[in-house]
Chains A and B, each alone.
Chain A
Amino acid sequence: MKAASGFLPVVRRELGLMAKYPIYLIMIVVIPLVCYLFFASLMPEGLPERLPVGVIDGDNSVLSRNMIRQLDATAQNRVAAHYTDFSAARNDLQQGKIFGFVVIPSDFEQQLMTNSQPEIRFYYTQAYYIPGSLTLKNFSYMLSTLAGGVALQTLLLHGETEAQAMSIIQPIVPDFHALGNPYVNYSVYLIDILIPGVLELIILLTTVYAIGTELKQRSSRRWLRTGDYSILKALAGKLLPYTAAFFVMGMLYNIILFRFMHYPLHADIGWLMLNTLLLIFGAQCMGVFMVGLLPVLRDALSFSSLYGVLAFSFSGFSFPVEGMPAYVQGLSAIFPLRYYFKIYQNFALNGLPARYSLVYFGCMLAFVLFALAVSVRLKKAALYQDYPKK
């Protein structure tokens, strides 16, 4: 009896393979779950809190002690150590024990009372980017409040009303609005992209592995025969079970992020799910492209790894693409995560109507061209199995 062939038999054959080899369960369920758990529990507060800073209080007056107490009371910083000299403080900064230290001059209170503008210096490190700049921001905000308070006292004594005094102390008040992420939450900003990014990487590798293994194990002819010798039927039947399985995992992270963790979402969650589905599709197409280009499994995997990890940078979420040198910017076009990020920000952060994302939907679907471009080459490789075994 001739074995059944066609699209559905390929699907059935693949489901059998997925059940037989535990690696697929690990790739589809275990590793994504570990990653979800990792990122979801990594930054529970969203912003670093109580970052340690140091103090060199040369004055040791009521005022300077009060200032240090205020600094310690802020949410972002805590005073971890007092120093008597600069080099001891710098030593701890270099060891990463503190992220910055403030130097209060010896006659600080005296100078302030006699209107001789004492100078406070804050030394910090930007080798740790996020904590360094947050600490500086927090400290300068605290100091400007303090300076404002001093000025207010003088002006009230001088006979101004409080409203008049405030208009002198801070004539122009800027109000900042962080669109879509009002609390400037780092966790939202990072994890909304890191989780789909890691999932995309896993999908890329799984796709290359699922196809490449057929070539390596010399079972590719059987695979193709089950698909009626149509490479498109064989590919579609092979990859559809993964699309479905990864989509379940994809829906899961959307539910975790937007339903359980209540991350900002200014659109229907359905759009985000669609975005995830497109990302899966894009990643699978690139996987087919890689293994079609290099039909030797290990070469395809090496190359996919090189390419896959770069997606995090080229998506532009950490450092915007337009800030990269012009000759590098174009490369971002070949990363599905780039378009995922665009669609995500349009829907989740900015709540824009779907028409603004149509072009990115189109780009995602266009990844199929990569797969089609190598389909003939892939079919030949599957049929003749004529590449080097080693």
Chain B
Amino acid sequence: MKIFDNIKQAVKACRQIAFGELWNVFRDKGVLIVFFAAGLLYPLVYGLVYLNETLREVPIAVVDNSHSATSRHFLRLLDATPDVVITHRTTSMEEAKRLFAESKIRGVVYIPASFSKDIAAHRQTHISAYASMASMLYYRAMYSAVNFTALEMGKQIQLEELESAGFTRHEAEIQTAPLLFEGVALYNTKGGYASFLVPCILLLVLQQTLVLGVGILAGTAREENLYRDLIPLQRARHGVLHIVVGKGAAYLLLYFFIAAYNLLLVPKIFDLPQLVDFWSLMAFTLPYLTACVFFAISLSVFCANREVIFLLYLFSSIPMLFLSGAMWPHSQLPGFWKMISYIFPSTFGIQGFLKLNSMNADLKQIRIEYLMLWLQTAIYFVTAVLVYRRQIEQSGKEILSKE
């Protein structure tokens, strides 16, 4: 059968190129650093950096001008919250400011002299909380600790006042809370920083290391004019197709293992959300990796030498994290940047993975992301073929002109 023979030959050609490319990867220290050191170590480093998930026991100073049993009670409640710890008690705001300047504390709670008198006289009383804005998490800790304490203590005062105003205990309780409110976090239930950020980084690391590594390989091929070896192949029917499929298969094979490590093992090591079942994850990872692989091959056309990809591409990692909509809601991005974000597999990869892995969605629910990843795979496959054809033709011309 002729067709059968053709397929057999095509498979053989692709396999040959794939093995050749794997050999290129393993003999190149630069590529190994990017694929394996970065692909395998980054997740561990980020997991460790954000290991504690939340910021607890933020040191604060208190200025208690009330000097009363009431204010001391308030401060005891405040100190007991997990968010802050009172490390300094100062007599003046000046002193507290000095401690703040020396970075010994991250915030100050000020209780005015009138605090206990106001409460005794049934007047509303104000306290002030100052928080460092160096990190949003300082403000967050201060906000939740002081709010919680003011509400807790407020409730006790309310009950006493209402009872003295002639309400029964039961009526008083209803008065303090005419309706009950409960906020329930369905996903990332512990509100962890790592649980939210690290999954996004895992996805981004796969794409970025692939682009860098493939860029180095393409740069090397150009420098050493390795494309020369590919010219006879290209002249064969469907030659370029075989080259792109073969190389793509080699990268895909490697990244299958790196992705399994990143997406299956790392979440287990650091106790990150992992609500997705194995087969859905595999089904999702496949188009993400293929889109990244052909995206990387397409971009490698810009790699005139081994190093240029680092210079031109590395800076994009942080912007891409923002474009993915993981940090800042995607719907809030300005229109132009939203369009740009659709170029990168990481946008759909991160969104899809967050929903699948962290929010227990199934593949049907993320069908838009899923289809977009396949669409990107198709588009970048075509561009990869075009790019390769051009590169090989060019190096062919160079050789001819030299000869």
Contacts and interface: CB of A to CB of B under 8 A. Distances in A.
B91 interface: no
A167 B161 contact: yes
Contacts of A38: 319, 337
Given A170-B154, A178-B131, A319-B49, A124 B185 contact: yes
B310 A126 contact: no
Interface string A29-46: 001000100110111110
A303 B307 CA distance: 12
19 contacts: A38-B319, A39-B319, A45-B332, A48-B329, A155-B175, A168-B161, A171-B124, A172-B74, A172-B125, A175-B128, A176-B143, A177-B131, A186-B328, A202-B315, A305-B314, A306-B33, A320-B138, A345-B134, A349-B132
A35 B100 contact: no
A180 B100 CA distance: 13
B147 to A, nearest CB: 6
Contacts of B142: 176
Interface in B73-127: 74, 100-102, 118-119, 122-127
A319 B329 CA distance: 19
A94 B311 contact: no
A375 B167 CA distance: 81
A151 interface: yes
B359 A122 contact: no
B158 interface: yes
A6 to B, nearest CB: 29
A42 B333 contact: yes
Given A48-B329, A128-B354, A143 B181 contact: yes
B127 A26 contact: no
Given A41-B337, A312-B318, A175 B329 contact: no
Contacts of B157: 171-172
A319 B101 contact: no
A328 B179 CA distance: 46
Contact of B133 (A184, A298, A309): A184
B124 A163 contact: yes
Given A176-B146, A350-B100, 19 more contacts: A41-B334, A49-B332, A95-B355, A96-B359, A126-B191, A127-B358, A128-B354, A130-B329, A168-B158, A171-B161, A173-B125, A174-B128, A176-B142, A177-B130, A179-B132, A205-B314, A299-B33, A302-B38, A306-B42
Nearest to A213: B307
A179 B38 CA distance: 38
Contacts, number: 335
Contacts of A110: none
Contact of A95 (B56, B138, B366): B366
Contact of B328 (A95, A130, A147, A350): A130
A160 B134 contact: no
A229 interface: no
Interface string A87-111: 0001101111001000000001000
A196 B184 CA distance: 38
Nearest to A180: B133
A311 B143 CA distance: 28
Interface in B236-269: none
B310 to A, nearest CB: 5
B394 interface: no
A319 B196 contact: no
A118 B179 contact: yes
Interface in A147-175: 147, 150-151, 154-155, 158, 160, 163-164, 166-175
B129 A177 contact: yes
A318 interface: yes
B129 A176 contact: yes
Interface string B145-157: 0110010011001
